[in-house]
Amino acid sequence: MFFLLCYLYIWLFVEPHLIYHGFGTIILDVPLFSTGWQFLRDSLGIPGGLVIYAYGFLSQLYYYSWLGALLVVLVALCLCELSKQHYIYAGHPRSTILHYFPAIMILLIYNHYDHPLAACLTLSIGLLFSLVLESV
């Protein structure tokens, strides 16, 4: 229910298409994206290139507000679930409100029309890899 309300809020009040239209003017850290093997190959040749490539691709979804809101909520849900799994692994199996904290922080950042998608993707991958390493 929490994430459904977040989706409606982001879609109807924040309007992610405004973030898309701010790329290059208000939001200067704009991810470049191009289709084709050469751009992908060039992206994979630099450290963190796959994340940057995904960041550029996913940023194009902000063009449609409903799709951008869905992306924001899915990233927030992913961070929420990964945080919850870390709490469970740390020995706190009961669900608490603490694992919602990263999701709430992301929604607050988007409320200021910032574009933290690269940081969110990097954090998600880091949390995922740490879970995998802890379980080995």
The number of domains in the chain is 1
Here the tokens at position 64 are 């449609």
Alpha carbon distance 50, 41 (integer Å): 10
pLDDT of residue 66: 93
pTM for this model (two decimals)? 0.83
The answer to whether residues 68 and 113 touch, using CB atoms and an 8 Å cutoff, is: no
For the chain, 136 residues long, give each residue's pLDDT as a single digit of tens: 888 998 998 888 888 888 887 776 776 677 777 787 888 888 888 888 888 888 888 888 888 989 999 999 999 999 999 988 888 888 877 767 888 888 888 888 888 777 788 888 888 889 899 989 887 7
Please give the pLDDT value at position 58.
Answer: 86
Distance CA 33, CA 53 (A): 7
DSSP string computed for 40-70: HHHHHTSTTHHHHHHHHHHHGGGGSHHHHHH
pLDDT at residue number 134:
82
- Residue 24 has a pLDDT of 65
- Residue 57: which domain range? 2-135
| Contact status, residue 79 vs residue 120, Cβ threshold 8 Å | yes
In whole angstroms, what is the distance from residue 50 CA to residue 43 CA? 6
